[in-house]
Amino acid sequence: MPSSSEARPRRTGPIVIGAVIAAAGLAFGGLTAAYAASHSAGGHPSVAQQAKHVQAEDNHVPKDGNALLNVNVLEDQVEHYYGSASRTYPVVGKVTVPASNSPYARQMRAISTRAIAWLAAAKKHVKPGEKPAVVFDIDDTLVNTYDYTLSAQFGYDPTENAVWVNNAAFPAVFGMPKVVAAARHDGFSTFFITGRPEAQRSATVANLKQDGYGTVSDSHLFLKPTTPPAYLNCPSTGCSTIQYKSGTRAHLAAGGYTIVADFGDQFSDLLGGHAGHQVKLPNPMYYLP
């Protein structure tokens, strides 16, 4: 989810692209059917290739409006994918959250099961003296923001969104508390890198704890600073998402950690290096290049 420090992309492009991604299941090497078929001879495309393909879709200028799926139909498809359950939070009140029997829930449980098995296998390859680590994005990787997105009618307002953030009004992504717990159990240090602003640190920690992720220490939680630290080496205009997240991972690597896996719902959570095994989770709600 874009934070107040990140601009929300336009409404139509992200939904069009996201709906295709969610239907195909990008995690662990999936892709849209047509694109995957075009790469079948050479195996699955890399995360970087997938990201390039999605970016091309986002930049595409259609010539026939009748050939495009209507935005309202796409929104309906997104709602069918997440399903409909209810939950009540302080201040925010009663909201609609993903249903436990939805296609989204089933897909995420399958992804998390594979992730836990992969981590169990990966720990056997850790070398003596290494400090293995796993990195997680937060919004729509660990906590789901569908309730806010519905309330905003698939738009985004940073002030309104902050009310939800500050009241920890996001449920856990299905299966992901077990993935984080498994990573810790298998001896991996867990780090969390989010585009949320530093002002939302305490609320973020509270939401993670509430959702079953345990206590997250400040040294393992990175929020996007207004003034980038020197190790990010960003231009004067500020860090892009890729620069911020990959630069933070490089900072961890420079501190002696070996990042074996990186989990995120956006390609920009995964690109730029020092990611290890890249796990792309489904998110048909928005697109952050």
Spatial separation of the C-alpha atoms in residues 76 and 138, rounded to whole Å: 25
Amino acid at 121: A
Spatial separation of the C-alpha atoms in residues 269 and 276, rounded to whole Å: 12
Amino acid at 167: N
Domain extents in the chain: 12-280
Q: Rounded mean pLDDT of the chain?
A: 87
pLDDT tens-digit readout, 83-115:
999 999 999 999 999 999 999 999 999 999 999
| Cα 119 off chain centre by | 18
Q: pLDDT-derived band of residue 138, with 50, 70 and 90 as boundaries? A: very high
Judge whether 241 and 195 are in contact, CB under 8 Å. Answer: yes
- Which tokens is 141 given? 């990787």
Please determine, for residue 13, whether its predicted confidence score (pLDDT) is greater than 50: no
Partners of residue 95 on adjacent β-strands:
87
Partners of residue 210 on adjacent β-strands:
none
pLDDT tens-digit readout, 213-232:
999 999 999 999 888 898 99
Fold of 12-280: Rossmann fold (3.40.50)
pLDDT of residue 225: 87
> Residue 7 class from Cβ within 10 Å (0-12 exposed, 13-18 middle, 19+ buried)?
exposed
CA distances from 174 to 15, 20, 103, 230 (A): 21, 20, 11, 36
Please determine, for residue 244, whether its predicted confidence score (pLDDT) is greater than 90: yes
